[in-house]
Structure formats: structure tokens, C-alpha cells
Amino acid sequence: MTEKEFIEKIQQHSGIIHKILFLYVDDPEDSRDLKQEIQLQAWKAKDRFRGDSQFSTWLYRVALNTVLTFKRKKQIPTSEILETDFAKEHPKENSEQTDILLRAIKSLNDIDKTIITLHLEDYDNPEIAEITGLSKNNVGVKLHRIKDQLKKKINDRPNG
């Protein structure tokens, strides 16, 4: 893959990076730094992309691993702040239901957050299994439990 092709693919799939940063990073400065770090790690690993999976699946894995490694080093709690600039950056996605769902997802543990986000991005269970390293059956079971957990969080919220 040439440098130009790589840059085009990164730009084409920049939403993946943004969503991971939104879900896992609360500090805007850390988010900016991590965006660059994800792109750097993807560039360093581009020769290992064999095309066995979609580029988006590969990029999701690189981005997720980069963010989780950063968090382990810094020991940042994932759900410490729920307020972000997501609504300002994505006004068309700023509906009350979207906000409620995003807050509920953000409160999940890291693996559950990853699974449901991939599911909402239309990845199928085998692709989610590949990205997370879980078995397809485990992904299916976890996905069912996560959906139940989200329904409970949304229905049990005040004024809900």
C-alpha cells in the first residue's frame, strides 16, 4: 500500500478513530494526542495489514489497542466524565435518544463498550470476535447481555 493509499484509507475511516476516542477518552488534549498516536501506530503496522479482513476492522483493532495501552499506562477511569464535545462536533447526531444511549454505552466496561460499539457499526459477530479476540459464541452471549444491561440503564434513569 502506497503512502497516498494509506492516507486515503485513514481519512475514509476516520469515523472509527473518532468513535473510539469519544468512548474511551474524556480529556480533549489526550484525545488529540491519541488521534496522532493511532495514525502513527497504523502507519507503523501498515505492512502487517494482509487484507485478510477489511481495512476498517484492522484499523479498529489498531485504534482500540492504542487507546487501551494508553489508558493502562495512565490508569484513566473510562467513565469518569460523561460530558464531551461530541454534540458540538456531530450536531446531526445530537438527539436526546442518541445522547441517552451514548451515556449508557460510555458507562459500560471496556470490553462491553467495544462489543456494542462494533455491533452498532454493523460489524457481524465473527468480525467482532476477530477484533476483540473472543470466540463468536462468547460475542453473541455478551452482546445479548449488553443489550439487556443497556435497556435497564436507559429504563431505570430518572425521568425515563
| Per-residue model confidence (pLDDT) at position 159 | 59
Q: Where are the domains of the chain?
A: 3-155
pTM, entire model: 0.58
| Per-residue model confidence (pLDDT) at position 121 | 78
Q: What is the pLDDT along the chain (160 residues), one digit of tens a residue?
A: 788 988 999 999 998 899 889 888 888 898 999 999 999 999 998 888 877 778 888 898 899 889 888 877 765 444 333 333 344 444 444 567 777 888 888 888 888 988 988 888 778 898 888 888 889 999 999 999 999 998 888 888 765 5
| Per-residue model confidence (pLDDT) at position 12 | 93
| Per-residue model confidence (pLDDT) at position 52 | 78
Give the per-residue SS3 of the chain: CCHHHHHHHHHHCHHHHHHHHHHHCCCHHHHHHHHHHHHHHHHHHHHHCCCCCCHHHHHHHHHHHHHHHHHHHHCCCCCCCCCCCHHHHCHHHCCHHHHHHHHHHHCCCHHHHHHHHHHHCCCCHHHHHHHHCCCHHHHHHHHHHHHHHHHHHHHCCCCC
